[in-house]
Amino acid sequence: MTLSDRIRSIVSDANLDAGVAVWHIESGRKLDVNGDAPFPMASTFKIPILATACRQLAAGEISLDERIALVDDDKSLGSGILPYFESGLNPTLRDLLTLMIIISDNTATDIVVDHLGGPAVIEGAMHALGLADIFFKLNCKDLLRHIFPPEVADLPREDLVKWTSENDILRDGLAFSKGPENNVSSANAMNELLHQIFGDLFPEAIRQVALNILYKQQFNVRLSRFLPLGTKVAHKTGTIGGIRNDCGIIRISEDSHVILTLFVEWNEAPYWNLPAAHHQRVFVVETAMGDIGRAVFDEFADTR
């Protein structure tokens, strides 16, 4: 069975809608399954944000050591720890980029997006790199606002958390759109971005900043789930509703690296208020993602 066939089988057996791209850097071998189709990036859009920050660092427009004060209005729903800290905290830009990637801190993300010039700057940076299939329209606050009915979308953060414990989110709104009005990418476009980050897009010192942050990722139960112990993966996950994404660079050896993007969707609606069933379904989905990661690793383990 070819690797493409294996991936298709895993996706089908887990009843997923997926876009998968696999690029071995050193050999130049590429394959994909539905790799040109657009998918919502969820928090994998933080990779384009990191890349845009690195472009501005290389141009001398920003500094990793500059400090940006946290204010209450910055605090966002969703993942992260900054909403639980007191206003007045003064992290560096390096701190914010690290929080944005390794624990997917939405508050840190929105602070960085504002600091870089807003969503249009990030989308423009991607298109300037030739990545016409990457669109970034909404920061975390604006994206998450679209998972709620309009009558509650502007409630305080604490009230929205309570609302979601009693009500399902909107699953047919902008946050789940595959059009350019949302934050979307194809798997192949994300792989190309990661390839450029790994390559010579930035001066070596800035390249290492980006990769070292990505290597510190704390969420490791998807594409890296079944990789051999000690395997280094520079990656970023993304989750919203039934979307489970993971995109990164697997270090097979010092001279062998493979880029893997997994954009995955499944129907979460029947499970949202059934905790045990939901947990089991997520286990199946993330196990499938891990199976793909291991199949990719094994395919290229002997590539020199």
pLDDT of amino acid 256: 96
C-alpha span between 76 and 82 (Å, rounded): 9
Number of H helices, E strands in the chain: 10, 7
Structure tokens belonging to residue 241: 């509703």
Residue 226 CB-density burial (10 A; 0-12 exposed, 13-18 middle, 19+ buried): middle
pLDDT of amino acid 231: 97
User: CB–CB of 193/131 below 8 Å?
Assistant: yes
pTM: 0.96
pLDDT of amino acid 304: 47
Break the chain down into helix, strand, coil percent, rounded to 5: 45, 15, 40
User: Helix, strand, or coil here: 39?
Assistant: strand
pLDDT of amino acid 154: 87
Contacts of 240 (CB under 8 A, 6+ apart): 40, 42, 43, 143, 144, 147, 175, 176
Helices (H), the chain: 3-13, 46-58, 93-102, 106-116, 119-128, 140-145, 157-164, 187-198, 204-215, 275-300
Mean pLDDT per 10-residue run, the chain (304 residues)? 96 98 97 98 98 97 97 92 94 98 98 98 98 97 93 87 90 95 98 97 96 97 97 98 97 96 97 95 98 97 66
pLDDT of amino acid 303: 53
Tally the C-alpha atoms within 13 A of residue 280's C-alpha that lie toward its C-beta.
7
Domain boundaries, the chain: 3-300
User: For the domain with range 3-300, which CATH number is right: 1.10.150.20, 2.160.10.10, 3.40.640.10, 3.40.710.10?
Assistant: 3.40.710.10
Measure Cα distances from 143 to 41, 44, 184 in Å: 11, 13, 12
User: CB–CB of 193/210 below 8 Å?
Assistant: no
C-alpha span between 237 and 102 (Å, rounded): 9
C-alpha span between 240 and 251 (Å, rounded): 27
